[in-house]
Structure 1
Amino acid sequence: MRPIGDSSHIASIYVLDGDSLLNVFYLYCPFLLGEDEDDETRLIGGMGKWVCGRWWYTLAHVCQRWRHLILGSASYLCVSLVCTNGTPVADMLAHSPPLPLLIDYRNEYGDITAEDKEGAILALRQRDCVRCVRLEMPAMNLQKLVVAIDHEYPILEYLVISDWNEDNNAILIFPETLQAPHLRHLTLSGFALPIGSRLLTTAVDLVTLCLCMVHPSTYFDPNTLLRWLSSMPQLEALAILFLIPVPNRDVERQLSQTLIMTPTPHPNLCRFIFRGVSTYLEALVHRITTPRLEKLRIGFFNQLMYSVPCLLQFLNTTESLRFESAKFEFHKEHVYVGIYPRGEADMYALALHVDCWHLDWQVSSVAQFFDLLGQIFSEVEHLTLEHKEHSLSSEEHNEVDCTEWCKLLGSFRNAKTLCIDDGLVRGLSRCLQLDNRELPLELLPELEELTYSGSGNTSDVFTSFINARQNTGRSITLVHPLLKTMPFGAAL
């Protein structure tokens, strides 16, 4: 579809009546955070340029009729004035009607100049007109702008303020007096939040919340976070991200000093993203209920032991989560697991990311985690294990204890298909050989198809396992993508 600003397109709609024109304009009004961005990208503030808010500028200059129609329906069309890098804000405000302001200054647009700083501060001080704010830049420039944000912003709906530089040691202080009673979308990264922040206690209509801690000074304990969340019943998407590890023992000590709160219901929460340590996550899921949760993404730092009984209870009480397939990806420095409701790789229901540097540690970590949660994956029918790039220096760590592989596979007792990537075939096949052990007969008892990849004919590595299954009357079809597919026993 051509943009509405195309001259031939304008000519074709010029003769439409007012109501029809208004409908056409409404259809071309762009979504603020980008229609082509996924939920998680929008949750952290979006990556698209908000200059799309200028969509109406050209139309308003076509003729007086169109200009009156647009400005007369400014609220319906979400018409705004855009303040961004290179915008002469003072002149624009002096020669424009008092429309809502969309303020968007990002470092990727170019270095912010002294003129841009003055313009941004001037725009931020128009408190009654500011509807959307996004500031993403280095800490030094960011703090100078944030000091201009205080008191009440009566129509503010979007607030995204981020310093995503993990190496930054500057301590950014968020204004305690800021209030935005109609705020719906909030993303804050790199700021020390005052416990008495009026913003987080008055934003009762908040729909999305993303808080990212990139420095020890920005840390807040789970009890404080839970108090904030208790005043946000409309929340639909939540992201709590720690880019700095906090010891589990510190979180446990903080929890022991506070009485346990009554669980807070979040009936509209559909997406929850967390990155940090397991104890912090346990504290959160123990005190919130989310019956409509559809997507849960968890990221853990390196840790030796996991204890997630509250997460198990949390998942058991979440009615919307469904699991049909699971995919494990073992990368060079982390392991990623996606659990999908219908086998669709872009629509995970549960995702797990663990920072690990060697295959043996990666398998041990996810085996421990899924062993603790195994009972909730009884519906998983399709299991995939992929081996991504690993450095040569870690080869000595690529020999995984068979007990760990068996523990991991044992969490998916009802899996009907198993797909094994080339790099894992030899190691897993050794774990599936009997060798006087009875465990493989109990492993994956419902398995019907085993797919493996790699060069050459390596089907013999599964001989012991599949023969043992056939002897019990449970045949397994062996599949190689580059060779023929047939029940085991026929010549490939």
Structure 2
Amino acid sequence: MTIDALPEDVIMRIFDFHVNDVPIYDRNDQHRMAKWRTLVHVCQRWRCLTFGSPRRLGLALEYTGKKPMEETMAVWPALPIAVIPPELVGTRATNIAEALDSNRERVSEIRLVDVPRSHWDRFVAVMESPFPRLTHLQFCDNRNSLSLSPVSPHFLGGSGPNLQRLELKNIAYPFSTIQKLLLTANNLVSLTLWHTPHAGYVSPESMVTCLSGMPRLDNLCLRFRPFGPYPSRPSPPPTRIIIPALTKISFKGPYEYLEDLVARIDIPRLRSLNINFFMDLMFDIPQLHHFISHTQQLRNLDHAELLFSDRSVSLQLIRRIPPSLSVVELALTISCRQSDWQLSSLARVCLSRLPPFSTLEHLMIVPDQSAPPQWKDDMESIQWLELLDPFPALKTLYLPEDVALRVGNACRTSLRKDQWKRCLH
């Protein structure tokens, strides 16, 4: 049997898998567009099937701004437009701004990265009006400059009912502006607020209010800038909001913020939790302990890697699930340059006895080869045992040579030296 003998609904399922074969937050939109363009050039039947199901396949015409839009779109059907310039310089920036302003009804995806200062105010003005078909928006400034004027309070007309993916990185805004948009974005699948400045600080209560109206949200990334002392913390509410579809969280900020956030939510399907805390010697995290204890997927992780670098220390715990070997993971990073502080701060977190620690059987401690840590000669060997003590079920422990010497010295005086002798490699 050839593929031409298959009924149309079977062929469309194959097409759908071919074009949309990864989660929405991992998709390379340009690669996806190249896939459907290949389909329409195979034969007339495939061309008709592809253009006959634009919504199912997520068809969109890529516009890069190299030429005026009317010169590049005339040969194609009136499909949605994905504005994805490789860079915003010279006439390309002008063409992109004009295309956005004159094609609001057709634009489905926008990727604006490093808008030139000379064009910034114009793009901010263009983004004030609604884009009714917009499903994907990436608005980023990798230059890490917050001196640019903030986005307008009327950003996207304050409405995004069709948005599926939203990423804002290093963009100044009052959170009230974005909150207004998020409260209408009930179809969001992926939300990234990266390096949110102090001016855009959002309270955990406000964030949970927004998340509670996103039943399809699968991926959440929140990254804050350091903003001084954490404000006073109200008592958590008696009940938690369930976020039903969320499977992946990435967080960077003060531990108090994450504590206040997870005290207000339950995420039954969570499979990946990536945490990056600002340096702190306290790390009082009972709410995180409770949260992980009630997240079934994160409770029985059995392999871990402890990675030290000159900027941070990271602990990653995983469990591979057969037969597909999909990965469940919990990653914890503490941003800190002093090696002795890395040990003491991570030990503080480990002493909280997070649920996966008690069942962990295999631990590997390695230095980051690209940015190796600067070990201090006067570091106490006992600090290593304090770090390892919360892992009572260890069967194998892999150490680099310099760490093995320190831990070995401490093991000789430890009350648990027989256990360490069995698991050390």
TM-score for the superposition, normalised by structure 1: 0.74
1:178-213 Cα deviation digits (max 9, x unpaired): 322122221111231441543200111212111112
Aligned to 1:460: none
Q: Is the 8 A contact 1:382 1:415 kept in 2?
A: yes
The code of the aligned residue for 2:227 comes to V
Aligned to 1:309: 286
- Count, aligned residues: 416
SS in 2 for 1:128: coil
Matched, 1:431 2:410: yes
Q: Is the 8 A contact 2:309 2:371 kept in 1?
A: no
Evaluate the alpha carbon distance shift between residue 110 and residue 190 of structure 1 in structure 2; reply closer, same or farther with a 3 A threshold. closer
Q: How does 1:25-40 map to 2 (within 5 A)?
A: 26=15, 29-31=18-20, 35=22
The equivalent position to 1:202 in structure 2, one of 184, 192, 195, is 184
Q: Is the 8 A contact 1:160 1:188 kept in 2?
A: yes
Give the stretch that moved more between structures: 379-388 or 110-119: 110-119
CA RMSD of aligned residues (A): 3.4
Aligned to 1:415: 394
C-alpha displacement at 1:278, in angstroms?
A: 0.5
Aligned to 2:268: 291
Matched, 1:387 2:367: yes
Give the stretch that moved more between structures: 405-414 or 130-139: 130-139
Q: How does 1:92-491 map to 2 (within 5 A)?
A: 92-94=72-74, 96-105=76-85, 109-123=86-100, 125-138=102-115, 140=117, 141=119, 143-174=121-152, 175-176=154-155, 177-191=157-171, 192-196=173-177, 197-242=179-224, 244-247=225-228, 249=229, 251-253=230-232, 255-256=233-234, 260=237, 262-321=239-298, 322-342=300-320, 347=327, 349-388=329-368, 394-395=374-375, 397-434=376-413, 440-442=414-416, 445=419, 448-451=422-425
What CA distance in whole angstroms lies between the structure 2 residues aligned with 1:388 and 1:190?
A: 27
1:232-279 Cα deviation digits (max 9, x unpaired): 23221111012x2123x3x332x34x9848421112211111001111
Evaluate the alpha carbon distance shift between residue 313 and residue 99 of structure 1 in structure 2; reply closer, same or farther with a 3 A threshold. same
Give the stretch that moved more between structures: 373-382 or 272-281: 373-382
SS in 1 for 2:386: helix
What CA distance in whole angstroms lies between the structure 2 residues aligned with 1:186 and 1:402?
A: 47
SS in 1 for 2:111: strand
C-alpha displacement at 1:285, in angstroms?
A: 0.7
Identity across aligned pairs (percent)? 26
The code of the aligned residue for 1:99 comes to L
Evaluate the alpha carbon distance shift between residue 443 and residue 120 of structure 1 in structure 2; reply closer, same or farther with a 3 A threshold. farther
Aligned to 2:53: 73
Instruction: Report which structure shows greater RCO (CA 8 Å, sep ≥6).
Output: 2
Q: Is the 8 A contact 2:276 2:334 kept in 1?
A: yes
SS in 2 for 1:212: strand
SS in 2 for 1:183: coil
The equivalent position to 2:68 in structure 1, one of 72, 85, 88, is 88
The code of the aligned residue for 1:216 comes to H
Aligned to 1:4: none
C-alpha displacement at 1:116, in angstroms?
A: 3.9
The code of the aligned residue for 1:114 comes to T
What CA distance in whole angstroms lies between the structure 2 residues aligned with 1:289 and 1:363?
A: 31
Q: Is the 8 A contact 2:215 2:244 kept in 1?
A: yes
C-alpha displacement at 1:372, in angstroms?
A: 1.3
SS in 2 for 1:202: coil
SS in 2 for 1:329: strand
Q: Is the 8 A contact 2:367 2:373 kept in 1?
A: no
Q: Is the 8 A contact 1:213 1:219 kept in 2?
A: no
The code of the aligned residue for 1:425 comes to A
Select the structure of larger CA radius of gyration. 1
What CA distance in whole angstroms lies between the structure 2 residues aligned with 1:393 and 1:273?
A: 24
1:29-57 Cα deviation digits (max 9, x unpaired): 534xx85xxx7xx74x76x4626525455
1:378-402 Cα deviation digits (max 9, x unpaired): 110111112345999945x243323
1:124-147 Cα deviation digits (max 9, x unpaired): 542332222222124634553242
Give the stretch that moved more between structures: 289-298 or 367-376: 367-376
C-alpha displacement at 1:347, in angstroms?
A: 3.6
What CA distance in whole angstroms lies between the structure 2 residues aligned with 1:376 and 1:391?
A: 28
1:148-177 Cα deviation digits (max 9, x unpaired): 234443332222211133344324315442
C-alpha displacement at 1:404, in angstroms?
A: 2.3
SS in 1 for 2:259: helix
Q: Is the 8 A contact 1:138 1:165 kept in 2?
A: no
C-alpha displacement at 1:228, in angstroms?
A: 1.4
What CA distance in whole angstroms lies between the structure 1 residues aligned with 2:46 and 2:316?
A: 50
What CA distance in whole angstroms lies between the structure 2 residues aligned with 1:59 and 1:276?
A: 44
